[in-house]
């Protein structure tokens, strides 16, 4: 059973994650996180001695875990890699649309805002993207695509999805995500067929 301190730490990371998505990293102050998490005032520096940067890293890691789980669930439920990609994009589309286009990928937000300012945050974002690219590449490789090509294709897939989320939020439309789903699924099918793997 988690201790009270562990629960407070998790709540702070969760609040930071939510606020980054709606207000950006730079626009999220520590007082706002404390209020959002209903946490004691001294709790941030107790659990995150590095302050906002450490809390930002925790939020990025939390986002990475959640999307990694989404990818894993899509892979298990889908019959083919193309179906898995569609399923993952549909799940993201639901998140974006149901939030009235206020929520997207906090990892891309932190990368764009802080990638050149904080090496620690840049590395956390790089690790997050890698945690999505690697299992996607492994799934593609298991479908018959050569390792190097699977890695390249997985990188394109993750990049396309990230870009589609950003454009969808800007246009307040799910059409970019729907288009990405069609193109990504088609590309995966094409590569699997060329490799003689699963359609």
Average pLDDT over residues 91-102: 94
Does a structural domain hold residue 199? no
Does a structural domain hold residue 30? yes
CB of 2 closer than 8 Å to CB of 10: yes
The CATH code of the domain that includes 152 is 1.10.357.10
Does a structural domain hold residue 97? yes
- pTM here is 0.90
Tens of pLDDT, residue by residue over 50-72, are: 999 999 999 999 999 999 999 99
Tens of pLDDT, residue by residue over 111-159, are: 999 989 999 999 999 999 999 999 999 999 999 999 999 999 999 999 9
What was the pLDDT predicted at 1? 67
Cα–Cα distances in Å, from 125 out to 56, 106, 182? 10, 9, 27
Does a structural domain hold residue 67? yes
């Amino acid at each position: 059973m988690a201790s009270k301190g562990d629960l407070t730490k998790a709540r702070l990371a969760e609040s930071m994650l939510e606020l980054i998505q709606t207000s950006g990293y730079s626009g999220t102050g520590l007082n706002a996180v404390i209020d959002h998490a209903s946490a004691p005032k001294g709790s941030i520096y107790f659990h995150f001695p590095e302050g906002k940067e450490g809390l930002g890293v925790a939020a990025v890691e939390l986002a990475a875990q959640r999307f990694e789980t989404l990818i894993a669930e899509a892979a298990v439920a889908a019959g083919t890699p193309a179906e898995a990609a569609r399923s993952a994009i549909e799940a993201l589309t639901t998140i974006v649309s149901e939030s009235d286009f206020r929520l997207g990928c906090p990892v891309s937000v932190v990368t764009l805002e802080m990638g050149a300012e904080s090496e620690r945050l840049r590395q956390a974002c790089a690790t997050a993207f890698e945690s999505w690219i690697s299992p996607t590449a492994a799934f593609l490789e298991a479908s018959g695509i050569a390792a190097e090509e699977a890695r390249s294709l997985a990188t394109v897939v993750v990049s396309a999805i990230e870009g589609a989320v950003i454009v969808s939020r800007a246009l307040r439309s799910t059409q970019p995500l729907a288009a990405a789903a069609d193109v990504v699924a088609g590309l995966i099918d094409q590569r699997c067929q060329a490799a003689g793997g699963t359609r």
